[in-house]
Structure 1
């Protein structure tokens, strides 16, 4: 069986992708080799847990609410309920509060809780049970 190898152009592509995202470290392991890439970022540019974004103030003059997005903090499989439950934790139209669990990300054998950084009403849920999500993919929209 031929041995898998990474070539220099593939490594350059990986570093380009890291530079275009907030991925700071990448560790790839094979049977016979491993590759670890680490991006050096000044401490002042590192964000700690800001896995959400807020849209521009949407039609504030018309009195409309601000819409904020909760983004995926990691790559994983989204679960809108705990594996031992059958009912989704939140539904469209429900009110959520800061630090309320809105779902889980299954990363390997670990279930990471995804929490809301906002108080507000769930406007839209972008992902369903078992959907594979990437880092910073949209999960939920909240009317604040």
Structure 2
């Protein structure tokens, strides 16, 4: 009988990059340095400002990024070198997930006048699209 394929693609493992969902480091990424038990892991983010700490899985989201060949219980220095060697933070910043989060954060930080300017820009773009579509329909 063939082995059954798992539906899960991301697993809790040493070297897995996680996105923190709550606490003072919310929105930052860190790396799982050691697995404590089925509820908690030791995470560390030496390049992202996340201190080494025990953290519950329910307050982190697993990302598709993994540090390869990271030893168990690696110190902050080893994790920092591996992060820089594999350019993991840059890969995260280029991902669609991180860019979408940045866009949402930028949208939230706009003041009233900036929101008004965005509305006008969307309005003018919509008019340009509508006019070109009408012109294309008329010529067809």
**TM-score grouping bracket, smaller chain normalisation:** under 0.3
- More RCO (CA 8 Å, sep 6+): 1
More helix by share: 2
TM-score (norm 1): 0.24
- Structure number with the higher strand fraction is 1
